[in-house]
Amino acid sequence: MQNNTFSGLFVGQNFVSITEVDSTNNFLKQTLANSTPLIEGTVIMAESQYAGRGQQQNQWHSEAGKNLTFSILLKPVFLPLNQQFDLTIAVSVGIIKGLEKLLADDLCVKWPNDIYFKDGKLGGVLIENIVQGTQIKNSVIGIGLNVNQQLFPQFIPNAVSIKQILQKDYDLKALLVEICSSIEAAYLMLRAENFDQLKTFYLQKLYWFNKPHQFKADGQVFSGIIKDVDRSGRLQVSCNNELRMYNLKEIEFLNNPEKQ
């Protein structure tokens, strides 16, 4: 259905709202698999997800009707396969910029693409690319943001919501429109090959960037400093004048190393 609430050029111009679904990413991928034509920028939003996922099949917990759980369809055919992490950077930048008016300078991106407020997890992103030959044919961008939820399960001890931070309820649709507009702007920058500008902002907002902290890798706890994220998405950490490279799940951030 067309929806004129969205002010962007294409993101949100085709908007579908669902009461309940296993996950908006699954719904969007299944629709594409059924050969249903969908325009770039299609947004699927669910009031409730009963099988939301994060990176590496981690469960995403969201109280029905309280938060933003949605997916965006993008078609970054211009992006080489070995640069697909550029899209992660662009989407992360878009989300941060979309939330800045509310939460100002305490927002950051915890590598690779969790959205943090100070040391609390505000949301996350799951990007699933559908590849055809040497091109990314479709990218399904799943986003979950804690907005009006106040109580979280004990297995997510660092979760935080906008309501907990600002003590105020927020209109989910209005926030969705703002974030989609910012993601579209960042995506258009990527398409126009303004990647350096996106990368600079991403690093400025990167959690623990250029500050000594405790990490754990290969069963060993060590002190290191995040120096960069390379084009393939690997985290670069300096330790004892040595630059180490880590893929997803190869390194753990120790917020409370004394408990390890």
What is the gyration radius of the CA atoms in the chain, in angstroms? 18
Q: Whats the size of the chain, residue-wise?
A: 260
**Cβ pair 81, 189 in contact under 8 A:** no
Residues 189, 170 share a domain: yes
List the chain residues with pLDDT less than 50. 1-2, 55-58, 257-260
Instruction: Give the per-residue pLDDT at 256.
Output: 63
What pTM was estimated for this model as a whole?
Answer: 0.92
Find the CATH number of the domain harbouring 52: 3.30.930.10
Residues 229, 116 share a domain: no
56 belongs to a structural domain: yes
Instruction: Give the per-residue pLDDT at 115.
Output: 97
Find the CATH number of the domain harbouring 239: 2.30.30
Number of domains in the chain: 2
Q: What are phi and psi of 108, to 5 degrees?
A: -155, 170
- What is the domain extent for residue 240? 212-259
Return the structure tokens found at 214: 């405790």
Q: Which of 69, 247, 81 is nearest to 173 (CA)?
A: 69
- CA 236 – CA 225 distance, rounded (Å): 8
48 belongs to a structural domain: yes
Instruction: Give the per-residue pLDDT at 154.
Output: 82
- CA 154 – CA 163 distance, rounded (Å): 18
244 belongs to a structural domain: yes
Instruction: Give the per-residue pLDDT at 111.
Output: 97
Buried b (16+ CB within 10 A) or exposed e, 156-169: eeebbbbbbbeeee
66: number of Cβ within 10 Å: 19
Strand partners of residue 123: 115, 145
**Cβ pair 237, 226 in contact under 8 A:** yes
5 belongs to a structural domain: no
Distance of CA 158 to the CA centre of its chain: 17
Residues 166, 222 share a domain: no
Domain-ending residue, one of 183, 204, 225 = 204
Residues 143, 181 share a domain: yes
Instruction: Give the per-residue pLDDT at 2.
Output: 46
Instruction: Give the per-residue pLDDT at 195.
Output: 97
Q: Which of 115, 110, 70, 85 is nearest to 97 (CA)?
A: 115
DSSP string, 164-183: HHHSS---HHHHHHHHHHHH
117 belongs to a structural domain: yes
183, 109, 117, 124: CA torsion to nearest 10: 70
Residues 89, 53 share a domain: yes
Residues 236, 124 share a domain: no
